[in-house]
Amino acid sequence: MSGFDTMRGLVGVAVILAFAWLASEDRTRFPWRLALGAVAAQAVLVFLLFAFPATRGVLSLAGLGVDALAGSAQAGTRFVFGFLAGAGGQPYLVSDPASLYILAFRVLPVILVICALSALLWHWRVLRWLTQGFGFVFQRTMGLRGAPALATAATIFMGQVEGPIFIRGYLAGLTRSELFLLLTVGMSCVSGSTVVAYAAILKGVLPQAAAHVLTASLISAPAGILLARTLVPRDAARERVDGFDAASVKTYESSIDALMRGTADGLQIALNVAATLLVFVALVAMADRLLALAPPVFGAPLSVERVLGVVFAPLAWLIGVSWREAPVAGGLLGVKLTLTEFTAFIDFARLPTDVLSERTRVILTYALCGFANIASVGINVAGYSVLVPERRSEVMGLVWKAMAAGFLASCMTAAVVGALPEGLYRA
């Protein structure tokens, strides 16, 4: 890694911030202090997590925990679906072991288990204390009020719509800037249930995959807050002390109630993921068939992925990817934005290991780890229409801008990671 690569990552951060400033609703109010603090916080957090043996040990334990959760989910899947789970005991001769990896039986069940476990940990106050701790940090360091601070923290662990559920009674009183901030942070991060799924997908292609995915989800929140405040600046005059009481958030009647309701929520999420993947992959296949009717370009037929690779290659290069690898990386960024990050991670995992360097794989993990995609636009509109129906039209006017901000927030996080020494991530 050369000094030019480091500088390119810093330039990428500056370019993303400059773009957000140009698109701001009020260019006279750029949050300089927040910008410096957010970027510094991201860099310091990554350094602290990966630079010291003690914190590396914690991340390794987290990785083992992720593996244990995935293995436990697989045990339940084998009990229900038998040999279809693809983990030994096949009643036929297997000539291609890779074909046993079926997304519906290897990844989606993990979402069910994690959602149920999250609900149980919330009922036992473990996750609640953790969320409130992060909310306190956001409130003190980034100027968020109590309710949006807690929702931002909950979004990191629970998801883009599930997080705001915990302050449902306060959503109507949020300012436009705060509402946009929640939408943006929701698309900048991912949920705890999908973190484990992504780590399982990347396990064979990226060392410390679980550690990187967990870190990416945590440190993308400051970038989302920064870009949200830049695009739709804070309206301090309209903010008021809302008397927010953290004890008034979502509760369960018992541990069994938490497990059952968490399982039901997980089932809904898993079905949404499966249906979204099915429909969007089918649409891309349809588009590829149409593009194949055009004459070949540079000796190969046109495809959605090739077109996206060309469009997003400059962005991939800006965040630290070498120009040789930029078309492939840009294609994955485009797949993440137009399809889902699930599809992008699956395509990422299927690439031969010699196509992308380890450094590029690390950078891409952070860039892809976010819910900013077209499908999430529909998910947010549907979710907020239920949570706060009186602000549906306002959400409709903000959600596309939030998708762009969330996408750039993940890329900004990747650029910060790309600007750090490559040896930091090697065991």
pLDDT at 21: 93
pLDDT at 184: 93
Is 227 a residue whose pLDDT tops 90? yes
Look-up: residue for tokens 């900013």? 372
Look-up: residue for tokens 């009481």? 245
CB 252 within 8 A of CB 217: no
First-to-last CA distance in the chain? 17
Calculate Rg over the CA atoms of the chain: 21
Secondary structure class of 242 (helix, strand, coil) = coil
Kindly state the tokens that stand for 374: 């077209």
Q: Please compute the mean of the pLDDT values over residues 218-239 and round it to a whole number.
A: 85
pLDDT at 18: 93
3-state helix, strand, coil in the chain (%, to 5): 75, 0, 25
CB 116 within 8 A of CB 266: yes
CA–CA dist 187, 182 (Å, integer) = 9
Is 258 a residue whose pLDDT tops 80? yes
CA–CA dist 312, 306 (Å, integer) = 10
Residues contacting 62, CB < 8 A, separation 6+ = 210, 211, 214
CB 275 within 8 A of CB 103: no
CA–CA dist 22, 17 (Å, integer) = 9
Residue 357 phi/psi, 5-degree rounding, is -70, 165
Residue 321 phi/psi, 5-degree rounding, is -80, 140
Kindly state the tokens that stand for 33: 């202090």
CB atoms under 10 Å from CB of 220, counted, come to: 30
Q: Which residues pair with 300 in a beta bridge?
A: 297
The residue count for the chain: 427
- Look at 305 and 10; give whichever has higher pLDDT: 10
Q: What confidence tens digit (pLDDT) does each residue in 140-185 have? A: 777 787 778 888 887 877 777 777 776 766 777 888 888 999 999 9
Is 204 a residue whose pLDDT tops 60? yes
CB 150 within 8 A of CB 168: no
Q: Please compute the mean of the pLDDT values over residues 378-403 and round it to a whole number.
A: 84
Residue 407: how many CA atoms within 13 Å on its side-chain side? 27
Q: What confidence tens digit (pLDDT) does each residue in 111-146 have? A: 788 778 878 887 888 777 777 777 777 777 777 877
Minimum mean pLDDT range among 11-20, 128-137, 255-264: 128-137
Kindly state the tokens that stand for 380: 């947010």
CB 333 within 8 A of CB 308: yes
Look-up: residue for tokens 């970027």? 39
Kindly state the tokens that stand for 263: 């399982």
CA–CA dist 342, 337 (Å, integer) = 11
pLDDT at 228: 93
